[in-house]
Amino acid sequence: VQWGSAVRSLADFAGEHGLALTRFAYVLCGDRGRAEDLVQDTYLALYRRFGDDLPINAPVAYARRAIVHANASRSRRRSSTETPTAELPDVAVEGAFPDEQDAMWRALARLPERQRAVLVLRYYCDLTDHEIAPLLGATEGTVRSLAARAFVHLREHPELATNSVEDLR
């Protein structure tokens, strides 16, 4: 799709990119219901900003930015209907993923949002730090710092603290 001068309807955009955006939102926030909320909010943001048509150059990138920041905002303006829990509500189906991936998912759930966002943008969206920086409203140095701190936290997670190939040598 050439977005340069194209005008797409919001419905078409949702049809083409809705699933990918929902997956992105899910790995970002770790909760399916919230991911759908974030995507719905993003449709709303697009509609309110651009109306029925989307005459913008990169609506997917725009939507990703909207999701990242809506996720941060939702965390700060927590719905009164949310039930406080100690863990993220999504629980992996037993055996659905390798143990290490389960462990990583649990470790990711404990990361501060910006650190997790950096990891998602780097390793799920394959964006460079240069591309990530404006998404987070940060400098590249801050992005690198957030990633480094995230790695420290991941290594400190008890389930990820061992089992390196290097350790086995």
CA–CA separation, 29 and 117 (whole Å): 9
Smallest distance, other proteins to C-beta of residue 34, A? 9
In the complex with other proteins, which residue's Cβ is closer, 5 or 168?
168
In the complex with other proteins, which residue's Cβ is closer, 2 or 162?
162
Smallest distance, other proteins to C-beta of residue 107, A? 9
Question: Do the beta carbons of residue 8 and residue 53 sit within 8 Å?
Answer: yes
Diameter of the chain by CA atoms?
59
Smallest distance, other proteins to C-beta of residue 117, A? 10
In the complex with other proteins, which residue's Cβ is closer, 4 or 48?
48
* CA distance to 15, 36, 51, 141, per residue, from 29 (Å): 22, 10, 27, 24
For 10, the token pair is 């919001």
In the complex with other proteins, which residue's Cβ is closer, 51 or 141?
51
Smallest distance, other proteins to C-beta of residue 123, A? 4
CA distance between the termini of the chain: 49
